[in-house]
Structure 1
Amino acid sequence: MMEGLKDHVDAETFWDAVDENAVFKFNYYFPNLPKEMGKLKYKEWLEENTNSGSSAEFINLYKDLSTPGQTTIIMQYVVRFKPGIPDMNFLSIATVKDNKVVAWDDYLDTSK
């Protein structure tokens, strides 16, 4: 995700780029995935539920700079898992203020 965020945050890693009070919202259903959680809970969830062989590839990136003091970054990407698990396409909308991600809305393309 840092590829999409790098010009708008003061951090080297994703978790350093995320504000302590950031809210992550997930607009799809995965077993054991809450619809909304904070930074620490999401980090814990990912550590417990992410496959080690997965990778992400950006498809498209859009940045809205029209609101003073805020950048909205829309990232379209595909997550590739290990063989036998289908790829998943996501759309993430990150809101950045004061060089930190303060909100994250995640959508899954279920059309495939």
Structure 2
Amino acid sequence: MRDSPIIGANAEQFAINWLKRSGFTIIAHNFRGRWGEIDIIGTKLCTIVFCEVKSRKSSRYGSSAASVSRKKQGKIAMTAQQFLNQHPEYRNHAKRFDVIALGDQRRWIEGAFSVEDLILS
């Protein structure tokens, strides 16, 4: 039996706790939209953060952060827009896309990518 769903759930819970300890309010977990899922959505002051959590036991096949492909970034951005359409109270917040990578090392990559990066490439 594969234990990756358990590892993923544990990683997401770790990330939620890390965000909360850093002053974020979690407003959604595993938000599902037409184009995919966003692991965690949180706010701090006037910023809304869409967070992808990646975990790997080993960096043998590349880092956790590197596994968030351009295609995946695009899906996250479109899903974020769907969230904002459903929750207009957050439309005026600054938007940020973070990656929390857990594995051999723990890294929180703030502003890991932007919508502008996706449009220009």
> Shared topology, TM-score over 0.5?
no
> What TM-score do the two structures reach when normalised by structure 2?
0.33
- Considering Cα pairs closer than 8 Å and 6+ residues apart, tell me whether 1 or 2 has the greater RCO: 1
- Structure with greater strand percent: 1
> What TM-score do the two structures reach when normalised by structure 1?
0.35
